[in-house]
């Protein structure tokens, strides 16, 4: 049975009860224009951009996103604060656009953005959910305007998760006195080749369940010289690898997967640095010249290091 709707009489347009007259073209244009202006005004309150450091990542690698927010409302914007809802969140989506996870960032600290002002937030967006499967993904940021209760979103930023077989693996037991002492673990080193760079990654794996416990980047990698890799007497992973021309990185990874040390050496003086193991199983670096790329340039000569301006890219 067909449905009938009645429209009340309107003295302006002459609508009669029981009839459904067409909307005049001028009226349709007015409604369309009004809706467009409302949408532009809502989107124009804030300019939100989301950036990732690159477009390709290793599976389960921590990903840090940078969100930039510009206030275009014309008045001071108040975001978050004690007792208010979290104002910043992220949503990770599959390549097909399906929502996979959402992460809310603690917004208990009040943030005021003056009219025309811009703020930046850096957040590790994989703390709540880290993609483990290879494929294409997307992420977007969402902010909540505490005053109006309106949500605003950034455009989607796309990224890919890739994985590969390790170049080196070694099983070990967690030493006494540490958490999970006696548990079987495995170190794995991976070479990650991106569009314009090559990096060395370390991964800690539960040797019994094959669960990947930790994955992160050690630094840029040059394969002119093969990395030196060994375990010391404390079952720490020691890796000496070439980061770029004349620069070598020495990394020590603890049995819990955390980075215990990262130092840099140059081969421009005293030759190429090499790892040596003492009779007690300790590792030391012979040759090369130690330098700290984070030292201010003014102190470089005092400590015998290189100026920060010569810091290798990606370190």
State the DSSP string of 271-308. Answer: S--EEEE-TTS-EEEESSEEE-TTS-GGGHHHHT---G
The answer to whether residues 153 and 194 belong to one domain is no
Band of pLDDT at residue 160, cut at 50, 70 and 90:
very high
31-40, 185-194, 293-302, range with greatest mean pLDDT: 185-194
pTM of the model: 0.76
What range does the domain containing 269 cover? Answer: 164-310
**Span 171-213, pLDDT tens digits:** 999 999 999 999 999 999 999 999 889 999 999 999 999 999 9
Question: Residues 178-181: contacts with CB within 8 Å, 24+ apart?
Answer: 178/255, 178/256, 179/256, 180/256
Decide if 6 is inside a domain: no
224 and 122 inside one domain: no
CATH number of the structural domain spanning residue 155: 2.60.40.10
Tell me the per-residue pLDDT of 256-282, one tens digit each, with 9 for 90 and over: 999 999 999 999 888 999 999 998 889
Alpha-carbon distance of 180 to 229, in angstroms, equals: 24
pLDDT averaged over every residue in the chain: 83
Domain assignment present for 281: yes
How confident is the model over 124-152, as a mean pLDDT? Answer: 91
Is pLDDT larger for residue 233 or for residue 22? 233
Summarize pLDDT for 64-87 with one digit per residue, the tens: 999 999 999 889 888 887 877 789
* Whether 245 and 114 share a structural domain: no
Q: Are residues 149 and 186 in the same domain?
A: no
């Amino acid at each position: 049975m067909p449905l009938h709707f009645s429209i009340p009489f309107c003295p302006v347009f002459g609508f009669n009860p029981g009839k459904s007259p067409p909307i005049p073209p001028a009226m349709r244009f007015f409604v369309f224009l009004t809706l467009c202006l409302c949408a532009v005004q809502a989107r124009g309150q804030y300019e939100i951009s989301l950036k990732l450091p690159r477009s390709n990542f290793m599976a389960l690698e921590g990903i840090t996103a940078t969100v930039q927010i510009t206030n275009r409302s014309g008045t001071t914007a108040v975001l978050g604060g004690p007792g208010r809802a979290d104002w910043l969140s992220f949503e990770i989506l599959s390549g097909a656009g399906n929502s996979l996870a959402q992460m809310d960032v603690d917004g208990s600290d009040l943030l005021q953005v003056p009219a025309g002002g811009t703020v930046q937030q850096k957040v590790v967006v994989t703390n709540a959910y880290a993609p483990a499967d290879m494929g294409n993904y997307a992420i977007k940021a969402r902010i909540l305007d505490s005053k109006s209760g309106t949500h605003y979103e950034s455009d989607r930023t796309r990224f890919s998760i890739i994985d590969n077989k390790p170049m080196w693996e070694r099983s070990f037991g967690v030493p006494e006195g540490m958490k999970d002492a006696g548990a079987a673990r495995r170190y794995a080193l991976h070479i990650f080749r991106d569009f314009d760079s090559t990096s060395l990654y370390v991964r800690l794996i539960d040797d019994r369940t094959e669960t990947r416990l930790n994955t992160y980047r050690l630094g840029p990698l040059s394969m002119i010289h093969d990395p030196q890799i060994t375990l010391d007497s404390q079952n720490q992973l020691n890796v000496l690898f070439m980061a770029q021309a004349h620069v070598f990185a020495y990394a020590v990874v603890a049995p819990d997967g955390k980075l215990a040390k990262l130092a840099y050496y140059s081969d421009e003086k005293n030759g190429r640095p090499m790892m040596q193991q003492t009779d007690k199983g300790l590792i030391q670096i012979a040759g090369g010249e130690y330098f700290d790329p984070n030292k201010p340039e003014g102190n470089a000569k005092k400590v015998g290091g290189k100026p920060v301006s010569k810091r290798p890219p990606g370190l």
